[in-house]
Amino acid sequence: MSVVGIDFGSLHSKIGVARHRGIDIITNEVSNRATPSLVSFGPKQRALGESAKTQEISNFRNTVGSLKRLLGRTLHDVEIQQVEKGFTHVNLLDVDGSVGAQVNYLGEPTAFSATQLVGMYLGRLRDIAMKELKIGVSDVVIAIPGWYTDVQRRALLNAAAIAGLNPLRLIPDHTAVAFGYGITKSDLPDPENPRHVVFVDIGHSSMSVAVVAFSKGQLTVKSTAYDTHLGGRDIDYALVRHFAEEFKTKYKIDVLSNPKATFRLYSATEKLKKILSANAEAPLSVESIMNDVDASSRLTREQYEQLIVDLLDRIPAPLQRALEESGLSIEQIDAIELVGGSTRVPAVRAKIQSVFPSKPLSTTLNQDEACARGSTFACATLSPVFRVRDFAIHDIAVNPIKVSWEKSLADEEEDTELIVFPRGNGIPSTKVLTFYRKAPFDVEAVYAEPSGLPGSINPWIGRLTVKEVGPSPTGDYSTVRVKARLNLHGILSFEAVYTEEIEEKEEMQVDGESTEPPKKKKVVKKNAVPYVAGYGGLDSSVVDKYREKELTMHANDKLVQDTEERKNALEEYIYDMRSKLEDRYAPFVQPQERDALLAELSKNEDWLYSEEGEDATKSAYVSRFDAAKKLGDPITTRWREAEERPRAAAQLRETI
Ligand code: ATP
Ligand code: MG
């Protein structure tokens, strides 16, 4: 069984695996430790991760990024319309009530929902992990933004199911980082006097802050705060706008009107931004940006900080909110740990520092990989495969959840709603709600503060319909209990409905001669009540359908890749044999044998460069390869035997 942790980032994702000697962040097919969070579609196949990155510019209309931002949203969400549209050139559309992308796939316009797209991407991460571990991968822990709501978390679980993955936990990324921090520390204090650490993560698209208390064997998240639109991509966008404006007058070109030019400018500004993290000034140059113009410019650190001043000014607010909600003073904070790529920007650090003037900022964690590492530790803890030392996570809910119901006739004064899981409620958590009813009824769960949710996310979470409730045996109101659970993923579900009857039972007499009357004992008898519950996210039948589709697309990609490999093998064989026939095989070949093989090779070469051979089936390449090899193998064998004979003789001498 595999133990895998995934940091699903908006720019790229990192994968950790647990092995007996510890946790490793693994590399992908091109030896990168981070895999671009991109999926791309072509006339013959999909390209996922790294291979999508290579065609991001040439195939921009069919390459989808921002997967993490699209997931669980509707097309008309203000954040999709006003923000995400600005970061993609793909046509976004509605797919079954959620946002999706329209792309050209296998020569046809095809619509995929964001859930499917994330499923494809997670499938690629699974393949990378499988290749590394050489076993099947199913159990994972996936890190998510702490601000993901119920519907976004459900969408991620659906996507994971489409990829054939089994998430043991969706963990907020700051909690994963905190877990990785705590579990490796052997010097944590007693619970009366915990160590308080503020984790600040500024990545590509969002900022999160968590104040966490650590003591021996446990961590407790005390508060969290977010700016869901503050990250490296916003910095990049500010720089792109600046240079686009400059180039309008300098070169009379409008970069933003041309998607390819915009991409080129983005990649140049990203480089410039990174140089400016370590230098006072940096050059920018983009060859042939558009209209044959080679664009160049420079920027000083001061100018740069001026361009992003609005973003920088937003950094203190979430830090102050988190600190305030934790109830701690700055003096009580023991450390401030920075993670996420954008905390490398000196001005970003200065802003964070301004909130904690007396405290040093530390980067003892690997800024890029701490989240994947922590997620992998969390997976190891939940998996039976490894023994991990006990380290408890006390996490908290971000958005308060209430349930509401219709008044029953019993009580005019009865409330019709209740906050079941307030902000800061522990995760996981189960609560039992009590209703007095004589008839079936409905209960609805919603987020209690819709204004606190990202974008236009619908506060609705789920609905429970309790069936077959009647009066109690005495004709009174039945006591109906409903179990509501906020599970390990931070998702709400109704888990059980039952009525309670109190029965009096006579206790068995042990001593037959007692004169006391038999004692009566009250026993609560629970009777399950049938119910149905509906939530956001996809029906399991739809997930199954998408899983099937995914398997078909995956098989197709594999076939295309295998075909390409067989074609290359045939081509390589032709050139390899030709050169060897001139060289090492020459003494071992009869003239007619040689001519026959050369003729076969030439025939195949001509075919490979013909229209038919350019794009043939896998079996066509395989059968041509086999036929050629049949002629070549006797020659190869003769040469090998001749090579091995002196070696064998030498060995024989040695043994005698
Ligand atoms: P998110 O957590 O927001 O979903 P992510 O996890 O994909 O995003 P990270 O890998 O933490 O993001 O950070 C990527 C961002 O950090 C990018 O915008 C990148 O340009 C930026 N970045 C990386 N290195 C540097 C650097 N040296 N200076 C400035 N910015 C940097
Ligand atoms: Mg991140």
pLDDT value of position 75: 98
**Residues in the chain with pLDDT values less than 50:** none
Report domain extents, the chain: 4-229+314-392, 232-313, 397-537, 543-655
> For atom 18 of ligand 1, which residue has the closest CA?
232
The contacts of residue 510 (CB under 8 Å, 6+ apart) are none
Q: Per the structure block, which two tokens stand in for 528?
A: 């399950």
**Ligand 1 contact via 72 beta carbon (within 6 Å):** no
**Ligand 1 contact via 341 beta carbon (within 6 Å):** yes
**Ligand 1 contact via 437 beta carbon (within 6 Å):** no
Report CA(34)–ligand 1 centroid distance (Å). 11
Report CA(205)–ligand 1 centroid distance (Å). 8
Mean model confidence pLDDT for the chain:
94
The contacts of residue 540 (CB under 8 Å, 6+ apart) are none
CA angle 120, 124, 128 (to 5 degrees): 165
Sign of dihedral through CA atoms 491, 493, 495, 500?
positive
The contacts of residue 41 (CB under 8 Å, 6+ apart) are 47, 59, 62, 63, 103, 104, 105, 110
Helical axes 316-326 vs 346-355, angle rounded to 10°: 30
**Ligand 1 contact via 172 beta carbon (within 6 Å):** no
User: What share of the chain in percent tops pLDDT 90?
Assistant: 89
**Probe residue for ligand 1, chosen from 342, 345, 366 as the CB with the greatest number of ligand atoms within 8 Å:** 342
Closest-lying ligand to the alpha carbon of 231?
A: 1
Give domain 543-655's CATH architecture: Up-down Bundle (1.20)
Class of domain 232-313: alpha beta
Closest-lying ligand to the alpha carbon of 12?
A: 1
The contacts of residue 439 (CB under 8 Å, 6+ apart) are 469, 470
Report CA(114)–ligand 1 centroid distance (Å). 22
| Measured distance CA(480)–CA(585) in Å, rounded | 87
What are 149-169's pLDDT values in tens digits?
A: 999 999 999 999 999 999 999
What is the SS3 assignment for 638?
helix
Q: Per the structure block, which two tokens stand in for 325?
A: 């909600």
> For atom 27 of ligand 1, which residue has the closest CA?
274
CATH code at 397-537: 2.60.34.10
Point out which residues pair with 102 in neighbouring strands: 91, 111
**Ligand 1 contact via 66 beta carbon (within 6 Å):** no
**Probe residue for ligand 1, chosen from 201, 273, 311, 345 as the CB with the greatest number of ligand atoms within 8 Å:** 273
Query: Is residue 514 within 8 Å of 530, Cβ to Cβ?
Result: no
Torsion angle (degrees, nearest 10) of CA 454, 458, 461, 462: -170
Closest-lying ligand to the alpha carbon of 204?
A: 1
Closest-lying ligand to the alpha carbon of 207?
A: 1
Query: Is residue 34 within 8 Å of 368, Cβ to Cβ?
Result: yes
> For atom 22 of ligand 1, which residue has the closest CA?
341
The contacts of residue 281 (CB under 8 Å, 6+ apart) are 298, 299, 300, 301
Report CA(324)–ligand 2 centroid distance (Å). 24
Of ligand 1's listed atoms, the one at least distance from the Cα of 273 is: 29
Closest-lying ligand to the alpha carbon of 202?
A: 1
The fold for domain 4-229+314-392 equals Nucleotidyltransferase; domain 5 (3.30.420)
Report CA(154)–ligand 2 centroid distance (Å). 20
What are 45-84's pLDDT values in tens digits?
A: 999 999 999 999 999 999 999 999 999 999 999 999 999 9
pLDDT value of position 511: 58
The helix (H) or strand (E) run that includes residue 326 is helix 316-326
Q: Where are the beta strands (DSSP E) in 450-609?
A: 460-466, 478-486, 492-506, 520-528, 531-535
Is the fold of 4-229+314-392 the same as that of 232-313? no
**Ligand 1 contact via 203 beta carbon (within 6 Å):** yes
CA distances 133 to 20, 24, 137, 586, 620, Å, are: 12, 11, 8, 44, 33
Ranges of H-type helices in 455-582: 540-582
**pTM (predicted TM-score):** 0.92
Of ligand 1's listed atoms, the one at least distance from the Cα of 10 is: 4
